[in-house]
Amino acid sequence: MLIRHAEVSGTRPLDVRVVDGVITAIAPALDAESGERVLYAAGGALLPGLHDHHLHLFALARAADSVSCGPPDVSTVAQLEDALVRSSAADVGSDPWIRGIAYHESVAGDLDRDRLDVWLPERPARVQHRSGALWILNSAGLAAIGVRAESETPPGVERDAAGRPTGRLFRLDAWLRERMGSSPLPDLTAVGRRLAEFGVTGLTDATVSNGNTELAALVDAVNRRALPQRLVVMGTRELGVPDHPDIERGAVKIVLAETELPTFDELVAEIASAHAAERPVAIHCVARSELILAAGALAAALVHPGDRIEHAAVAPPESLELVKSLSVTVVTQPNFVRERGDAYRVDVTPRDRSWLYRCRAFLEAGIPVGGGTDAPFGDPDPWAAMRAAVDRRTLGGAELGRDERITPEQALALFTTTAQAPGGAVRRVAAGERADLCLLDRPWADARETLDASHVIATFRDGVSIGAS
């Protein structure tokens, strides 16, 4: 393939030749060889394909069949009622369950079974909090999974003072899945296509429960080209080594939850055991206390190459020093500034508001920073995340963490470093490099002003087109 008249690293027009998935030549004018496919870029920027360093593929696929129960789609009790009641009237198909996602208290306060029963008296329903840490079931849902007042249940099943289950299930994804009976993992074709349209050629799945069942399904999806991106798969300690050249095993994911933090020694032991198995760790830290605990435990266990902190949602100055001294990578989600910023401006204590989803402070401290969207908990469009990293604007138009603004080039870099080293060296469009590419409809000098996904006109992985608009 010959891409004509592209802009590469700010220079144009240049012709770019790709042979067998590798860029072989870049020059002002290359002659097309016989039979070579020629594509005219018309001066558009040819960028490295984007890598989303943190998302959840199966959950993203399931989100398509779910009812959105939170902002920005649903912001009031009336809208929530409307969305749920409408979904309960829809065709049951093979699955009687109603699945809600993205719930947040700003819509209707704390939900429990009784409140859901008013809207959904018959069909079993489960609504996920947007943190991913809580499911709320209605009474029909609890009955369907066999939870009664007298049932033996794990500690995450909340009960009221009288011992009656409230319908609120904390951090019980795996248990809930087991009780619901194994529903097959969803097909990833639509997800792969959608991400390719954003220019995404690589993905890191950061799901804590990923085991060998999920891995086999991912290998299958990549083999069938249902998922055209290359992958890094994080997950459990038990996760095997993928037998596929385009799929790598990633870190052991450790989720910290402020309400039930492990002891310092427990966390050190968990990290050390992953390291002993030659696996880095990726520690989910949202609250300030979680970040301090994780940083301390990493220091005690000694950092292994590839160790990461996911989110670092609240990073006060003292934690910055700690993280810097460790030389671990932070993988952040600037898109949450946009998507959740209006709620943060109400819920987060003023002293923490300036430390939310920081970018610039990390970069200035010399801490490697990678970007992920956390889809489906965040919008999967990495361009929207880049925009938020640059303008720090909430959906409501307010500014959040103005001092954390970064340049469009720094924002692009969040998504264009290698899968193995988020925040490391940015991949280049150069001879000898793999042809994982994203072509824009305009030069970078224009595209940087808007950072809009609509400017992506073609996406190539190993030189093969996987998405175009």
Q: Where are the alpha helices (DSSP H) in 333-441?
A: 335-347, 350-353, 360-364, 382-391, 408-414
Q: Which residue has the tokens 């996904």?
A: 453
Taking the C-alpha atoms of residue 202 and residue 230, their distance in angstroms, rounded to an integer, is: 5
Query: For residues 436 and 460, is the Cβ–Cβ distance under 8 A?
Result: yes
For 16-72, give the secondary structure using H, E and C: EEEECCEEEEEECCCCCCCCCCEEECCCCEEEECEEEEEECHHHHHHHCCCEECCCC
Shortest approach of Zn ion to residue 156 CB, angstroms? Answer: 18
Backbone φ and ψ for 135, nearest 5 degrees, come out as: -115, 140
- Identify which of residues 54 and 279 has a Cβ nearer to Zn ion in the complex: 54
Min. distance of Cβ 126 from Zn ion in angstroms? 19
Rank residues 6 and 206 by Cβ distance to Zn ion and give the closer one. 206
Spatial distance between the Cα atoms of 69 and 81, rounded to a whole number of angstroms: 9
Residue 289: DSSP 8-state:
H
**What minimum distance in Å lies between the beta carbon of 424 and Zn ion?**
21
Phi/psi for 178 (5° steps) reads: -60, -45
Distance in Å, CB of 103 to Zn ion, minimum: 16
Q: Choose between 333 and 354: whose C-beta lies nearer to Zn ion.
A: 333
Nearest approach in angstroms of CB 135 to Zn ion is 16
Q: Please state the closest distance from residue 374 (CB atom) to Zn ion, in A.
A: 4
Task: Work out how close the CB of 254 gets to Zn ion at its nearest, in angstroms, rounded to a whole number.
Answer: 12
87/335 with CB nearer Zn ion: 335
Report the residue number, 197 or 310, with the smaller CB distance to Zn ion.
310
Question: What is the contact surface with Zn ion in residues (CB under 5 A)?
Answer: 206, 374
CB closest to Zn ion, residue no:
374
Q: Which helix (H) or strand (E) holds 295?
A: helix 288-301
Distance CA(440)–CA(459), nearest Å, equals: 9
For Zn ion, the closer of residues 192 and 376 by Cβ is 376
Question: Between 7 and 374, whose beta carbon lies closer to Zn ion?
Answer: 374
CB 369 within 8 A of CB 332: yes
Q: How far is Cα 341 from Cα 257, in angstroms, rounded to an integer?
A: 21
Query: Under a CB-based contact definition with an 8 Å cutoff, are residues 361 and 375 in contact?
Result: no
Residue 464, beta-bridge partner list? 461
CB of 332: closest distance to Zn ion in angstroms?
11
99: three-class secondary structure by DSSP: strand
| Residues linked to residue 434 through DSSP beta bridges, in sequence order | 22
Gap between the Cα atoms of 454 and 447, Å rounded: 10
For Zn ion, the closer of residues 134 and 457 by Cβ is 134
CA-based Rg of the chain, rounded to a whole angstrom?
Answer: 23
Q: Which is nearer to Zn ion, 374 or 462 (CB)?
A: 374
Tell me the closest approach of the beta carbon of residue 208 to Zn ion, in angstroms.
Answer: 8
> Parallel, antiparallel, or unpaired for β 11-19 and 22-27?
antiparallel
Q: Residue 425, Cβ neighbours under 10 Å: how many?
A: 11
Q: How far is the CB of 97 from Zn ion (least distance, A)?
A: 23
Q: Which is nearer to Zn ion, 206 or 413 (CB)?
A: 206
For the chain, the distance separating the N- and C-terminal CA atoms, rounded to the nearest angstrom, is: 19
